[in-house]
Structure 1
Amino acid sequence: MSKPLFTNEEASNAAYRNIRDAKDGPLYSARLRCEYYWQFFERHADNEFLKELRSNFYARYWEMHLTTSLILNGYDVTCPKPGPDVGILYRGQRIWFEAVSPGPGDPGHPDFVAAPKPGEVSDVPNERMVLRYLNSISEKYERQYANWLEKGYISRSDAFVIALNPCLIPFEYADTTPPRILQAAYTVGPQYLTLDKATGEVVGSGFHFRGSIKKTKPKALSADVVDIPTGVFQDRKHNGLSALLCSRVDAVNHRGELDGDYQLVPNPHADVPLPASFRFRGIYYAVVQTGDGYTVTPQGLKLPM
């Protein structure tokens, strides 16, 4: 028998309560959308899903959204417990997806991303935001992925994708150039422009090299500054990672097609590459190694028929 997604049980998460209690408007539309996804996802949900949705709404919603997008794209999904959130078989290749929703971090820590104050103009703390991405990638890859391999839940011949949804990080309603997911994957930093001194016209552009981001240790530990490496696709320590996926979708801010805002970034050095023809809707970042660098080309996608 089907269980309701939203209940009147105590819920600590404000988003859950607001969507559950809405009678009209965007929040009510969000509730209907969530309940529609639940029709597809319920039989794949773990035993703690409904309970944790009430306290950790965005993370569990992202897991449901990702799984439902795969189902509606025609894939037969498997959701092992324990193991990665969802897996599919694509043209003979097993692909696992692990969803993660990085938040703003802990106040007082050097990678904490504080929300902008109303009425004030704030600089976007882009490097701290990229650090939040890197922290989530490290947690999922170095701890969980390694543990699943060791215990045999997944195989070294399987492709593995970490799927980030950073909508809980302040300022994440807009991306940068280059996208932050690329700034985590590669040693690439902010864009620069070259101007003609005489005319002031832009005559060229490029991107700064950034191999690390400086991070001050919490005062409780020390005042030392450490360099956090970027470029997880280039360090050869993450070759078990086939791709990164990024989406900023949340339950209320619906972005057209279910997977229409997905950013899919394949790892050119993966031990098990993502199949070259695998796509979501959204943007696929095709990469070609050129000398000691990389050319990354965004491609708008349509699913193959």
Structure 2
Amino acid sequence: MGLFIEPPTDADRGYLNLWEAKSNGEMAIRAALEELWVKYEPYADAGFPSKFARHPDEHFWEMYLTVLLLDEGKKIRPRKDVLKAEREVGPDICVLEQGRKVWIECVTPGAGKEGHPDSVPELGGKRTLHAAPRRQVELRITSSLKQKRDQIRAAREKGIISAEDVSVVAFSGANFWAQSATGGIPHALSAVYPIGEEYMIVNGDTFEVIESKYALSTKIPRKGGPDIARTAFLSGEYPELGGLIWSRRTIGNFVGQGCDFVYAHNATAQTKLDAKWARWSREFLIHTTKDEYVLEELTQEK
């Protein structure tokens, strides 16, 4: 069976557009999705095409991530080997390694309630300048991170995830990919570490930039409630998580594009992935000293 089936009555509008595929762009996206499906089908839950038709963004993310990990040479457990209890409680993806498993829970946060000051705002059609909604994106990430942490904790308590295993949360920014564009610190990193605004130290005589640093910022401000700590990966409250994956790839912008995966290691994790476990687009470690936090971005192999 192919990925695109006769649409159910409650199919997503975007899915219907791709099912009809009237434009060259839509035909190219549909063909690329079918190519992903050929690789992903042995790892997919039963009824995946029907679920994809109703919630394409969420299910695309799980499929896309799985296929890229397969292309990296990772050994992923096929669906036929997943026990019923693990399907109901365990994370979405299980990577098999010698002596342990790497569990990956996928999540595609929504933008929040439309019009709420803490939700990610829609991009208007008018060409106007406005501040990038970093705060709102960070809030969407921290909210989902806590929920997924609790799910992984429950899976550990049930014995599905062992003490030697590594658990990772993989975030898709599909619902606010344009609003989260940045050339600096990725939003997912500043949501879990106290990284504030970047500032420069400048030579007063030559105006040459001597050094760039980031201000310490321990809270994400909220309009509709108490501020949220941006210290999840330093506080010790998320030891179950080895780190997080962040991507802005969506159904509409993955064709012909390379991997954009960012990986942020959790400094307080009980079990962690090795550095350069995969060929991430960007990878970050945090080193703590007596006086400061040192952010290290690892050089990626080409």
Question: Would you call these one fold, judging by a TM-score over 0.5?
Answer: yes
Which of 74-83 and 32-41 deviates more?
74-83
Number of positions where the alignment pairs a residue of Structure 1 with one of Structure 2: 292
Contact kept in structure 1, 2:123 and 2:179, CA below 8 Å: no
SS of residue paired to 1:226: coil
Question: Which residue in the other structure is 2:30 paired with?
Answer: 31
Q: Which residue in the other structure is 2:245 paired with?
A: 245
* One-letter code aligned to 2:165: D
Contact 1:285 1:297 in 2 (8 A): yes
**Structure 1 residue 290: deviation in Å?**
3.2
1:297 equivalent in structure 2: 296
Alignment match, 1:179? 186
Match in the other structure for 2:135: 127
Q: 2:170 matched to 1:163?
A: yes
Aligned to 2:159: 152
Tell me the secondary structure at the aligned position of residue 196 of structure 2.
strand
Residue 86 of structure 1 is matched in structure 2 by 93
* SS of match in other structure, 1:111: coil
User: What is the CA–CA distance in structure 1 between the aligned matches of 2:117 and 2:163, rounded to whole Å?
Assistant: 35
Q: State the alpha-carbon separation in 2 of the partners of residues 27 and 49 from structure 1.
A: 21
Under a length normalisation based on structure 1, what TM-score does the superposition of the two structures give? 0.87
1:160-180 Cα shifts (integer Å, max 9, x gaps)? 000001121263351252221
Match of 1:207 in 2: 214
Indicate the residue corresponding to 2:40 in structure 1: 41
- 2:148 is aligned to 140
Partner of 1:222: none
Distance 1:153 1:48 in 2: 23
Q: Distance in 2 between matches of 1:107 and 1:252?
A: 22
Show CA shifts across 1:100-120 (max 9, x none).
111211125442111121113
Q: 157-166 vs 290-299, which deviates more?
A: 290-299
- Is the 2:177–2:249 contact (alpha carbons within 8 Å) kept by the matching residues of 1? no
Report if the CA contact (8 A) 1:115-1:171 is conserved.
no
SS in 2 for 1:136: helix
Q: Check if 1:113 corresponds to 2:125.
A: no
Aligned-residue RMSD, C-alpha = 2.2
Match of 1:221 in 2: none
Q: Take 2:254 and 2:115, find their aligned partners in 1: how far apart are those partners?
A: 33
Match of 1:215, SS state, is coil
TM-score, normalised on structure 2?
Answer: 0.88
Question: Equivalents in 1 of 2:198, 2:192: separation in Å?
Answer: 16
**Whole-angstrom distance in 1 between the partners of 2:262 and 2:98:** 21
Name 1:14's counterpart in structure 2. 13
Q: How far did residue 196 of structure 1 move?
A: 5.0
Query: What per-residue deviation string (whole Å, max 9, x for no partner) do you get for residues 218-257 of structure 1?
Result: xxxxxxx402111211010001110111111112312656
Identity %: 27
CA shift for structure 1 position 302: 3.4
Deviates more, 1:126-135 or 1:107-116: 107-116
Q: 1:56 maps to which residue?
A: 55
Q: Matches of residues 68-83 of structure 1 in structure 2 within 5 Å?
A: 68-78=67-77, 80=82, 81-82=87-88, 83=90
Residue 286 of structure 1 aligns to a residue whose secondary structure is strand
After superposing the two structures, state which structure 1 stretch, 82-91 or 242-251, moved more.
Answer: 82-91
1:280 maps to 279
2:234 is equivalent to residue 234 of structure 1: yes
Unmatched runs of 5 consecutive residues or more in structure 1: 218-224
Distance in 2 between residues matched to 1:117 and 1:205, nearest whole Å: 33
